[in-house]
Each structure stands twice: as structure tokens, then as C-alpha cells.
């Protein structure tokens, strides 16, 4: 029996979770968390839940089990902000209270105007995104729920995704047939950055 469960927000996260747990040799039960039926999560006998962002908060509110929150790495947040900056300078970042704080300190570095909001519920998230739209934000950065709402309001949006740099590097190196200069070009980085990434991920 598996005692640890990764509770995914939706099916998009399952393949990555399967690869990650296989890579580290951990036998973890993976399922999509249904907030309408939280008991389903513990019916299988799990004792600890792993989750991210709003999913982690919802599980903590609904169930009396330990929840280990998977934080959003700073690197993933920066990638999302850089992508968003190509869509406009006014960037609304919205998440729950467990989202990285102080992102507006990056404004002078990225030459953008980041306005960060924190919500406690999906209805509050919807209201805040509408307010950000009315305040002239060009793009919304957030998780799955936030970007789905932004899409409903016909706003540009960037989802904060988990990086899978090791897998991405391996795939690019395969496609470039091992040509490091070509691989660096494909990734949009300097060759020295590619070497550092390869060393970091032991590729």
C-alpha cells in the first residue's frame, strides 16, 4: 500500500509527476484532487499528501492529514515573468497566500510593472483578476485556476509551470545531435550557460 499521495490539480501535472517520482525511485500514489470529494484522497489509505499552491491549501482545509507543499521555485517564477514581459509591461501576478511574495522588487531589473495580489478563494481570485484587468494589466501570471479565469476575461496569461530543465536539456541535446552551439541557440542561452546547466543537472 502507498502511504504518500501526490495530489495533482489536474491531469496536466500527472505525466511530469510520474517521471519525477520514477527518476528519484519513490513509489508515490498520484491522483487528481477533487475539492468536491476530498475524502476520496484518503480512502486509498494515504497518510501524507504532496501538493502545490491552492491544492495544498484546499487539502489542509478539508482533511486532517499532513500536507507537504511543493513550493514554486524562483526559477520557474522568473521564467513565467520573462515570458509575460514579452506580452506587455504591466504584469498582474495572482495566487494564494503561499505564493512567493515581493515580486514587485523585480520591476527595475526586468523593466516591468508587476502588481501582485493574493486571494483566499476562487471567487476572490476572479474578482481580483477583473480588477487587474480594469487597472490596465497586460497579462496575468498565475497557476492553472488563475490562468483559466484570465482566459475567460480574454486576457493574456502565463501559467507558472514546474521546470523540467534536465529533461528539456536532454531533449535539446538529442535534437541538436550533441552540437552544443546549436543546443544553446535552441534554448536561447549563451554557450557558457548551457555548460553550467549541463553541469548542474549532470548531463
> Read out DSSP for 20-80?
HHHHTT---EEEE--TT-THHHHHT---EEEE-HHHHHHHHHH-SS-EEE-PPPHHHHHHH
pLDDT at 91: 97
Whole-number pLDDT of residue 120: 85
| Per-position pLDDT tens, the chain of length 203 | 578 889 988 887 788 788 878 877 888 889 888 889 988 888 878 889 998 888 888 899 899 999 988 888 788 899 899 999 999 999 999 998 878 899 999 999 999 999 999 998 888 999 999 999 999 999 999 988 899 999 999 999 999 876 655 555 555 566 666 777 776 666 556 677 667 666 655 56
Pick from 163, 160, 162, 174: which is nearest to 203 by CA?
A: 174
pTM of the model: 0.71
Can you name the residues that pair with 34 across neighbouring β-strands?
none
Which ranges in 63-178 belong to alpha helices (H)? 74-85, 107-110, 122-134, 144-152, 165-175
Amino acid at each position: 500500500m502507498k502511504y504518500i499521495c501526490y495530489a495533482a490539480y489536474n491531469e496536466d501535472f500527472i505525466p511530469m509527476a510520474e517521471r519525477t517520482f520514477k527518476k528519484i525511485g519513490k513509489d508515490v500514489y498520484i491522483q487528481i484532487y477533487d475539492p468536491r470529494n476530498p475524502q476520496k484522497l484518503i480512502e486509498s489509505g494515504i497518510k501524507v499528501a504532496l501538493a502545490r499552491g491552492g491544492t495544498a491549501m484546499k487539502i489542509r482545509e478539508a482533511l486532517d492529514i499532513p500536507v507537504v507543499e511543493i513550493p514554486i521555485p524562483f526559477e520557474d517564477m522568473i521564467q513565467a515573468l520573462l515570458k509575460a514581459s514579452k506580452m506587455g509591461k504591466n504584469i498582474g501576478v495572482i495566487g494564494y497566500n503561499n505564493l512567493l511574495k515581493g515580486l514587485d522588487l523585480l520591476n527595475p531589473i526586468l523593466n516591468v510593472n508587476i502588481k501582485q495580489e493574493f486571494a483566499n478563494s476562487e471567487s476572490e481570485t476572479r474578482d481580483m483578476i477583473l480588477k487587474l484587468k480594469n487597472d490596465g494589466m497586460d497579462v496575468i501570471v498565475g497557476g492553472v485556476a488563475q490562468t483559466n479565469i484570465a482566459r475567460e476575461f480574454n486576457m493574456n496569461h502565463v501559467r507558472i509551470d514546474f521546470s523540467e530543465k534536465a529533461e528539456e536539456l536532454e531533449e535539446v541535446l538529442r535534437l541538436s545531435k550533441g552540437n552544443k552551439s546549436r543546443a544553446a541557440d535552441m534554448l536561447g542561452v549563451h554557450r557558457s550557460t548551457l555548460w553550467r546547466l549541463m553541469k548542474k543537472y549532470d548531463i
